[in-house]
Amino acid sequence: MTIAAYTVTAPVAEHGEGPVWCGSWGGLRFVDMLAGDVLALDPDGTVRRRHVGAVAAAIRPRAAGSVSGDYVCEGYVVAAERELLLSDSDELDAPLRSLGEAWSDPSVRMNDGGCDPDGRFYIGSMAYDETPGRGSLYVAEPGGGLRVVLPEVTISNGLDFSPGGDLAYYADTTTRRIDVLDYDREHGLTGRRPFVSVDPADGAPDGLTVDAEGGVWVALWRGAAVHRYSPEGGLDAVIRLPVRKVTAVTFGGENLDRLFITTSALDVDRTEQPDAGALFAADPGVRGRPVLPCAL
């Protein structure tokens, strides 16, 4: 099945990434990663921008109370270049406080992340020059320190969980694979194994999200598309875009039935791809799930 995409904004990001929908924010936020900016899409289509540092790698809502039961999203976390920043308010321009520098090596930065069903925040890393094996996937401890979960990755990217919460899907972009892992509260992520391999002609897997039926939607870097894979790993839907560098996806809208898609204009000839860096959307005929918040 082929699904049409349409533009939501003009090109607003040099390297758009990490879209997240949270009702308490009033809608969608995403990042212009290498500009170090968090962007908010208002209901009237206006895009507001807040600078947080050299890099804004990922953003997620924070939860007041236990995330395993009823909770209220209150504030947010931003992964910056080498630190996590916390806000106690949903307001885009609210004060941010740092949990401290996670590492001192200036050649390695944070890159994409997400939360597990129990509120733990995961953040990946990569070398600026994409040296193989210099990245990791980390999980944030209650005090904000980072512990390595997956070592020796290259470009740590999309992470999301199945509707039942017992499986996680993860992409290290350079492997051209989406992997699946087992998850439980006591042991965390275990048993990493291949889920889908992406043909090089189709690009490489970047950010991803899982819908309410367990389908895995993945943005294809240099692939000008988003693919949906069934829980069994079969390709069953494709969204085509007029730009090649497709970076990440999330479900949003009042009914979580609209798929938002971020794109990049890095090293792109805008005369050939004038919409590079725009935010796109599609109506895929399936709903997503509420965002998993973090308990930091």
Distance of CA 68 to the CA centre of its chain: 21
Distance CA 228, CA 268 (A): 25
Residues 6+ apart with CB under 8 A from 186: none
* Residue in the structure block whose two tokens are 């069953």: 236
Distance CA 138, CA 279 (A): 28
- Respond yes or no: is residue 275 known to be catalytic: no
Residue 153: beta bridge partners? 135
Catalytic position from the list 37, 206, 211, 275: 206
- Reduced to 3 states (helix: H, G, I; strand: E, B; else coil), residue 91 is coil
Strand order in the sheet with 135-140: 108-115, 121-127, 135-140, 146-153
Q: Are 188 and 204 in contact (CB under 8 A)?
A: no
Q: Which tokens sit at 94?
A: 């609210």
List the catalytic residues: 206
